[in-house]
Amino acid sequence: MSNQQRRSASEIRVAFKTMSVQELPYASALAIFDHLWDEANRAAVEVMGTSLMAEYVALLKEMEWWFQAEAKNAQS
């Protein structure tokens, strides 16, 4: 993915937040989550060593917290 195609951490965060508030089937939400997770990871690698990396790392942390909470809820 070139720099022109890479979405900013803010853009990915909006997509993630939108997904997280929708009432989607668990499997659908996880599929979207996986796509967004991979996108954020790729972007973080592309900007490694720059000031932009912190934004992607913060996003990945937020996503991890959501994933852990959803996994707990799914087990309940």
Residues 12-56: tens digit of each pLDDT: 999 999 999 999 998 899 999 999 999 999 999 999 999 999 999
What is residue 12's predicted lDDT score, i.e. its pLDDT? 98
- Examine residue 4 and state whether it is found in any structural domain, yes or no: no
- Examine residue 16 and state whether it is found in any structural domain, yes or no: no
Instruction: Determine the structural domain holding residue 29 and report its residue range.
Output: 25-71
What is residue 35's predicted lDDT score, i.e. its pLDDT? 97
Other CB atoms within 10 Å distance of the CB of residue 8: 14
Question: How many domains are contained in the chain?
Answer: 1
Backbone angles phi, psi at 2, to 5 degrees: -80, 165
- Examine residue 48 and state whether it is found in any structural domain, yes or no: yes
- Examine residue 1 and state whether it is found in any structural domain, yes or no: no
Other CB atoms within 10 Å distance of the CB of residue 57: 13
Residue with tokens 């973080």: 44
